Structure 1
Amino acid sequence: MKQKEVINSNDGIRLGFISDIEVDLQDGKLTKLIVPGPAKLFGMFGRGKEYQIPWDSIKKIGEDIILVEINVEKSLVESDY
């Protein structure tokens, strides 16, 4: 799945590629996709935020892309790392 680009179907914005996933180990279910947020100042200072996309926001998983339906501002949160 890391080779698939994540695109928001609401506005067509390319969010990027999956960097991590969150799994509920008790239920054995995927709960979130994690996509790095926009880079700071030409990427020299890393990334401070990430898109956390709940599993139920995924609308379609294709051969090359994953279509999601999210509110970009609400999904872009401070990174835990």
Structure 2
Amino acid sequence: MIRASDLTEKEVINITDGRRLGLISDIDVNLEKGKINAIIVPNSEKFFGLFGKELENEITWVEIKKIGIDVILVEVKNNIEPHLRHYEEDEDFFSKEGKNKK
């Protein structure tokens, strides 16, 4: 059986893009069923920790793929940074000169 206190000590990593999401800050529990609905991981968009907004990522129990000794692996597909460009399979990433097309 997994205890909530065991989860809060583990780092959360998204297997979709390999990013570290951070440590769990809260857990959403269904008290009637005694089951975990989701884990909450802070998503800080602050500049030097001072300016900006602090958001939270809610990761549902279904998105948790593996709970290991040190980390929790999750698969969150809608958690892509807005500044990262998506390339289609048939789209060339590099030009003929070998330079990144960006």
Structure 2 CA distance for partners of 1:48 and 1:24, relative to 1, 3 Å: same
Q: Which of the residues 48, 51, 62 maps onto 2:54?
A: 48
Distance 1:34 1:6 in 2: 10
Corresponding residue of 1:5: 11
**In the alignment, is the contact (CA less than 8 A) between 1:34 and 1:51 conserved in 2?**
yes
When normalised by structure 2's length, the TM-score is: 0.66
The one-letter code matched in structure 2 to 1:37 is N
Which segments of structure 1 move beyond 4 Å, counting only runs of 4 or more? none
Of Structure 1 and Structure 2, the greater helix share is in 1
Corresponding residue of 1:21: 27
Corresponding residue of 2:38: 32
Question: Which structure: larger Rg?
Answer: 2
Distance 1:8 1:60 in 2: 11
Bigger mean CA offset, 38-47 vs 10-19:
38-47
Note the residue ranges of structure 1 that are not aligned, 5 or more in a row. 74-81
SS of alignment partner, residue 56 of structure 1: helix
- State the Cα distance separating 1:3 from its structure 2 match: 1.6
Note the residue ranges of structure 2 that are not aligned, 5 or more in a row. 1-6, 81-102
**Identical counterparts, % of pairs:** 53
Distance 2:29 2:62 in 1: 13
Q: Which of the residues 62, 68, 71 maps onto 1:62?
A: 68
When the two structures are aligned, how many residues end up with a matched partner? 73
Q: Which has the higher contact order (CA 8 A, sep 6+)?
A: 1
The one-letter code matched in structure 2 to 1:69 is E
